[in-house]
Amino acid sequence: MKIFKPNNISNKSVNELNERLNVLEEKFKVIASERERKANDEIEARFAKMREERKKTMGPDGWKYETPEEDAYYMQKELKEPPESRYKYFKDAPYWHSPENVNHSHNGPCAPECPFSEPNGRIEDEDVKAYYSIPPAQRPGCFEFYGQRVMKRKLVRM
Ligand SMILES: [Zn+2]
């Protein structure tokens, strides 16, 4: 933060003041992110209850009735992640997380046909938005969906 310095104030006291302002700024940032984290924990606890309720009343198909509020929240959450870490999430997913993809293995290296076989890649914001634009009941598995988009771009580059 820059502050205006009249002539009768020493550079040293201006520097000290700047130091203190920077410390305060950092503290405010920590408080703000802590507050956001708490708010998100509350939202997610509420969503967890809703999921439990749906499971009770609708059985294993309950996920098809995810509300627009849940959708919007989880989409925003995914969009906050950088494209590289979204890719890494799928790349590092254990096999049980990816039953749709027989080429994905964590007992050994992925088959070259696996969309996540390259060490680095990206799942773009557009991919996330496209996924959430599909109504929950029609949505394919996320592994399959993002995998196809990653694969398509890989083929274009080859
Ligand atoms: Zn793989």
Question: What string of pLDDT tens digits covers the 158 residues of the chain?
Answer: 666 667 777 888 889 999 999 999 999 999 999 999 999 999 999 999 999 999 999 988 888 899 999 999 999 999 999 999 999 998 887 765 566 677 777 677 788 888 888 889 999 999 999 999 999 999 988 888 999 999 999 888 77
CA of 81: how far to CAs of 97, 152, 155, in Å?
Answer: 19, 22, 25
107 C-alpha vs ligand 1 centroid, how far in Å? 11
The owner of tokens 């550079």 is: 11
CA–centroid distance, 57 to ligand 1, in Å, is 36
CA of 122 to the centre of ligand 1 (A): 14
Q: Please state the pTM of the whole predicted model.
A: 0.76
Q: Which two tokens stand for residue 16?
A: 């000290």
